[in-house]
Homo-oligomer: A and B are copies of this chain.
């Protein structure tokens, strides 16, 4: 099942995305020569999904609560941004001056609840929130591409996130469809016939990181990566399965 060879290709000339745009149709329009194939995996930057969903917020229209003002004071952040962080989160995991690590309502633990102020493309007062339901959006895009092209592709929405313990961001999956976000290898035997340990693999996250290598982070304007070389998957599970519940998490 593990492929011995993969290609990772940035889709060329992907247009800037505006609120209301049909991302699935844009993906079909930008398919590589020969079109999509069964087993292709499309890795889409969170930013264009959020833009298509119109997930902009205008800081000028936010009235910070008392709680937001207090946290803003402790973290030296804009109280209006902190108000948005709180409204997107179920819990603040950590904070210190310059840093707020929040538990997003989708379960992801991330800086500023994933709210983004770069490449937003409006005025400096606009920020961009995470997509509303990334797993569902992936299912929808996969379904539209299948209806229109007959190709069974898998879809991942990725974002560049910071991690505990390590410097630097890496691509991580926020949503997935058409593939197992988690792959359980525990039933298999290793080369010496022993049961593999610690072998539940975050496949969607590894793909999200691989996609980042060609998407770039900045001025490239290449929000979509195509990973080609996997066989079509016979099982699928969403990224919500990747989220470790607070009760099992030793690092919240």
Report if A145 contacts B (CB, 8 A).
Answer: no
> Which residues of chain B are near A244, meaning CB under 8 Å?
164-167
> Which residues of chain B are near A66, meaning CB under 8 Å?
none
State whether B250 touches A96 (Cβ < 8 A): yes
- Give residues 186-243 of A contacting B (CB, 8 Å): 188-192, 194-203, 205-207, 209-210, 212-222, 227, 229, 241-243
Report if A160 contacts B (CB, 8 A).
Answer: yes
State whether A197 touches B250 (Cβ < 8 A): no
Taking the nearest CB of chain B, how far is it from the CB of A244, in angstroms? 5
Q: How large is the interface on A (under 10, 10 to 19, 20 to 34, 35 or more residues)?
A: 35 or more
CA distance A189 to B118 in the complex (A): 9
> Which residues of chain B are near A213, meaning CB under 8 Å?
2-3, 6, 206-207, 210, 227
A56-64, A148-156, A168-176: which lies at the interface: A168-176
Q: List 24 A-B contacts (CB under 8 A).
A: A4-B9, A4-B222, A6-B9, A8-B8, A96-B250, A99-B250, A108-B165, A120-B192, A164-B164, A164-B249, A164-B251, A165-B244, A165-B251, A167-B200, A169-B198, A170-B202, A170-B206, A171-B209, A185-B218, A199-B218, A201-B212, A201-B217, A206-B213, A210-B210
